């Protein structure tokens, strides 16, 4: 994993670099913020450790720029000597994922890095495409594809289908679906679920021999490729 450390205090930068290299990270250190943006597009960077007080441009402004320049997913851990709530809030608002107050123990830094990396991996899993039989859900393009043909979905249809597909072969109750797709916590006797299941069936199953969305009477709905 490649870590970029942006820190003008040479001792702190060296301390982080040495520790992380012992943990088999590849570490690049930069002392001023201005050169960072050029570096970002060129080098593979998996995580950024960013000090707030830097010459030229401060860490908060730099973090905003990193996000504005299209690097939305790379985790940013901010280092702050100014452990005031204000700076923490500013940092997080600027797009940082976590912060650590100086001085810190190396073990604490490592724990934060591990937590950020785990979260990043989880997010990637959430973005994985889903599949049931010949039905695929492209979670980037937000479209369904059945038998190679693209099917456009409204946002509610998409959320319903995604929830069914994440839980494929598992029967989902009405209250589960209403809560997770519509944020309705009680079954208030609405037929919105039946209406949308019907919409989805028309788009996904109509014209196909294998009906994927199945009603389990008295239980709820399930998506699966066998009856």
- Taking the complex as a whole, how short is the minimal distance between the CB of residue 79 and Ca ion, in angstroms? 8
For Ca ion, the closer CB: 39 or 82: 82
For Ca ion, the closer CB: 7 or 162: 7
Closest CA to 146 of 157, 160, 132, 159: 132
For Ca ion, the closer CB: 78 or 165: 78
Q: Does 8 bind Ca ion (CB under 5 A)?
A: yes
**Terminal-to-terminal C-alpha distance of the chain:** 45
- Taking the complex as a whole, how short is the minimal distance between the CB of residue 117 and Ca ion, in angstroms? 24
Are the CB atoms for 160 and 184 separated by under 8 Å? Answer: no
- Between CA 146 and CA 158 the distance in angstroms is 14
**Applying CB under 5 A, which of residues 51, 87, 97, 157 lies at the interface with Ca ion?**
51
Segment interacting with Ca ion, rule: CB under 5 A, options 53-61, 96-104, 143-151, 163-171: 53-61
For Ca ion, the closer CB: 54 or 223: 54
- Taking the complex as a whole, how short is the minimal distance between the CB of residue 185 and Ca ion, in angstroms? 47
Which residue's C-beta sits nearest to Ca ion? 53
Tokens of 136: 């695929």
Q: Does 179 bind Ca ion (CB under 5 A)?
A: no
Segment interacting with Ca ion, rule: CB under 5 A, options 31-39, 46-54, 108-116, 210-218: 46-54
Are the CB atoms for 32 and 8 separated by under 8 Å? Answer: yes
| Phi, psi for residue 104 in degrees, rounded to 5 | -130, 160
- Taking the complex as a whole, how short is the minimal distance between the CB of residue 8 and Ca ion, in angstroms? 5
Segment interacting with Ca ion, rule: CB under 5 A, options 1-9, 96-104, 167-175, 179-187: 1-9
Burial state string for 22-56 with b = 16 or more CB within 10 A and e = fewer than 16: eeebebebbbebeebeeebeeeebbbbbbbbbbee
For Ca ion, the closer CB: 8 or 176: 8
Cross-strand pairs, 76: 48
- Between CA 18 and CA 27 the distance in angstroms is 9
- Between CA 125 and CA 106 the distance in angstroms is 29
Q: Does 53 bind Ca ion (CB under 5 A)?
A: yes
For Ca ion, the closer CB: 53 or 166: 53
Residues engaged in binding Ca ion (CB under 5 A):
8, 51, 53
């Amino acid at each position: 994993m490649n870590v970029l450390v942006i820190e003008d205090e040479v001792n702190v930068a060296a301390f982080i670099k040495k520790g992380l290299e012992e943990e088999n990270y590849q570490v690049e250190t930069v002392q001023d913020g201005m050169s960072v943006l050029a570096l970002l597009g060129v080098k593979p960077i998996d995580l950024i450790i960013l000090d707030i007080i830097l010459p030229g441009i401060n860490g908060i402004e730099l973090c905003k720029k990193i996000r504005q320049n299209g690097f939305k997913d790379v985790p940013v851990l901010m280092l702050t000597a100014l452990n005031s709530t204000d700076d923490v809030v500013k940092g997080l608002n600027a797009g940082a994922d976590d912060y650590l107050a100086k001085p810190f123990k190396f073990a604490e830094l490592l724990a934060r890095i591990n937590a950020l990396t785990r979260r990043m991996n989880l997010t990637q899993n959430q973005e994985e495409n889903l599949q049931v039989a010949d039905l695929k859900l492209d979670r980037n393009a937000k479209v369904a594809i059945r038998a190679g043909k693209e099917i456009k979905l409204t946002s509610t249809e998409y959320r319903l289908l995604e929830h069914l597909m994440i839980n494929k072969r598992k029967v989902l109750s009405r209250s589960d679906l209403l809560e997770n797709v519509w944020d309705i916590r009680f079954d208030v006797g609405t037929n919105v679920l039946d209406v949308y299941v019907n919409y989805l069936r028309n788009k996904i199953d109509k014209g196909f021999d294998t009906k994927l969305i199945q009603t389990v009477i008295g239980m709820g709905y399930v998506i699966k490729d066998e009856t």
